[in-house]
Every structure is written in C-alpha cells, then in structure tokens.
Amino acid sequence: MEPARMVGAPGGSAATLPDVSAPATTPGPAIVTSRVTKTFGHVTALSNLTVEMPAGVVGLVGANGAGKSTLIKILLGLLPPTSGEATILGMDATTQGLAIRQLVGYMPESDCLPPDVSATELVVHLARMSGLPGAAARERAADTLRHVGLYEERYRPIGGYSTGMKQRVKLAQALVHDPRLVLLDEPTNGLDPAGRDEMLDLIRRIGNDFGISVLVTSHLLGELERIADHIVVIEGGVLQRSTSTADATALSGVMVVEVTDRGPEVLARLRAAGAAVDAADDGSNLFTLTQPDEAVLDAVASVAAELGVGLVRMQRRRHHLTEMFREGAA
C-alpha cells in the first residue's frame, strides 16, 4: 500500500496536492437516462424519464414519492427498469451493476447504522466490502471520517451519536472507497439549520475539492440551488426541468437598495426623480429598483448624501430557481 500512496505525494512533501490532478470524472455526462419507465403493479414510479446529468454536483429535486429513490436504485443496478436505459459513468445500469457499485458510493435516506459498533469499525468494514484490502481500508476510513468532520468520537459506538454525526458516518461510508460518483439520498433529512448548512458545505466540497461527482436529492429546491451546478426536477415520476444552475440564476434587471435610515423619505425623493421603485411602503429601509439606468443610480447616491443616511447595499439581484419554477408552473 505504502509505495502506491507515495506516488501521489512524491517524497512525502506537502507541496503536492493529489486532488489537483483532473477531477476523477469523465468529461461527458455522468448519468444518462433514456426513456426510463418503472412501474410497480399499477403504480408508475418513473415515466419515460430522459435526462442527462453532467459531472459535478447535480441536485435532484422532487416531493416525497416523486421517484427520486427509485431512480437511484435503478442507477445502482439494483432495480431493473421496466423499460428504457440508464447509463452511469458510461456503464449500463441493467447489466453492469457490480462494476458500477465498485465506482459509485451510496448514502441511503433511511437509518442504516448499527448502534453497537464504532464509526471507525463500521467504515473500515464497509471499505473492505467495497473490495479494499485491509490496510488500505483502515487508512482510508480514518482519512474519510476526518474529512466528514468526525474526530475522537469515531471510536465510540454509533448508538450515542447525534443525528448530524450519524449523517456524517453515512456520508463517510459512501466515500471511503474513493468513488467517482456518489448518490446522496436526502442527506439533510432530520438536520437542524446549522447541521443542514454544514452538510451542504460538505457536499459542495465533495464536488469541488474532492473531485467526486455528486447526485444529491432533496425535496427542497432552495437548499440544492445553493450547491448544485445542475438541477433536475421530477414530479410524479415525470421530468419537469433539467437546467444548469448558472443559466437559471443569471442576473436579473432588479437592483436591491438598502439604506440605514429614513427609508420612506429616500423612497419619496427617488420616485420624484423618476425612478421605478418597488417597496413594501411599510417604512422599511429596503426597496428594489427595476431596470435602473445611470441617472437613477446617481440619484440614489445623491439622495442618500442629501439626507445624510448611509447606503447599506446596492446589489443586482439574481434570479432564484424557486421563482423560475413557480413561473413555469403557473
């Protein structure tokens, strides 16, 4: 094991960062499904789903029962689609399940951790179950647990862990064998807001710093748009939208202005200057300008100066995916 590892860091020097080498993802799309349909008796879980998901972080959004978990099982090669084809990392999900599962990690949505073993024991064992030899399994388990933020507690039985720590263990076991892609099923489930933010940060790091492609599901679009490069929305097993986050959140023509004080007066003067201002008219110090030109922007500055109030911000607003989908649905 040792010599192989040293290749990544010649001379043991810290100057070499192994993850600088191109991300371990293929240049093409990571996941392609073509007319995938899955029915269970009378229930249709997925209907004619054709979608391409690029490498990087992809968010899969849908309500409970939208077909997200069914899609993941098909991609892992554990559930044959009723019809259609799915490829993941260029491998056919229906025939190459074993090869896929060697290079893909999976974090289940459900509770899946035995309480009487420590995180270290469990992750080492599961690394071996992915085919890693003993020494490599131990080394990578320690590394991976550290990366997900579990330190001394990893030697204690999992039974005593908080929900956040358990989610980290579930994430660690999905990463321990250095997959090229991980499928994360509702990783933020049951977490408090702070824990949710930490988990989302971690997922973003997996995609950006670790160079591992991510497919992450959630029923909340808002949290995925923060971290995903690409968003896929399904509902009732039907594809609603598949779009790059950058396109979707391009700059809008709206500018947000906030002043420290005397909001209504500023508002009145700006309106007098001919600016199209939107405000709640509740005496707040926050309002938006629609399609402001140079003159309007100058007016904002001079009005603030005249009234002696401070400008907190003048910011071009980005679209939120949420709005776009709301419009799309309407």
Partner 1 sequence: MSSQPIVPAVPAQPAAAEDVIHDIGFRHYDGVRFGRGWIVRSLLVDTLRGIFGLGRPARAKVMPWILVGILLAPPLVVALVAVLTGATSLPITYTEYLSRLWLPIALFVAGSAPYAVSRDLRYGVLPLYMSRPMVRTDYVWARYGGLAIAMFLITAGPQTLLLIGALLAKMPVGDQLTGWLGGLLASAVLAVLLSAIGLVIAAFTPRRGLGVAAIITTLLVVQGISEALSRVARLQGATTWAVLAGAIDPSRLVDGLAAKILDVTPASQFAPTTGGEVAVFVLVYVVLVAGAGALLLRRYRKAGRL
Q: Which residues bind partner 1 (CB under 8 A)?
A: 1, 4-5, 7-9, 12-14, 16-19, 21, 24, 69, 72-73, 76, 78-79, 98-99, 101-102, 104-106, 108, 110-116, 125-126, 128-133, 136, 140, 143, 147, 173, 177-178, 209-211
3-state secondary structure of 217: strand
Tokens representing 274? 């001919």
Stretch (H or E) spanning 223: helix 221-227
Query: Closest Cα partner for 148 from 199, 197, 105?
Result: 199
Q: For strands 181-184 and 213-218, give the pairing.
A: parallel
Ramachandran angles phi, psi of 206, nearest 5°: -55, -45
Shortest distance, CB of residue 1 to partner 1, whole angstroms?
6
150 or 231: whose CB is closer to partner 1?
A: 150
Tell me how far CA of residue 157 lies from CA of 138, 150, 153, 254, 304, in angstroms. 17, 13, 8, 52, 60
20 or 194: whose CB is closer to partner 1?
A: 20
Query: Closest Cα partner for 183 from 145, 216, 135, 219?
Result: 216
Shortest distance, CB of residue 100 to partner 1, whole angstroms?
9
Length of the chain: 330
- Cα separation of 258 and 314, whole Å? 7
Contacting residues for 97 by C-beta, under 8 A, at least 6 apart: 76, 77, 78
Tokens representing 10? 């010649």
Shortest distance, CB of residue 112 to partner 1, whole angstroms?
5
Residue type, 330: A
CB atoms within 10 A of CB 215: 26
29 or 211: whose CB is closer to partner 1?
A: 211
Shortest distance, CB of residue 80 to partner 1, whole angstroms?
13
Shortest distance, CB of residue 177 to partner 1, whole angstroms?
7
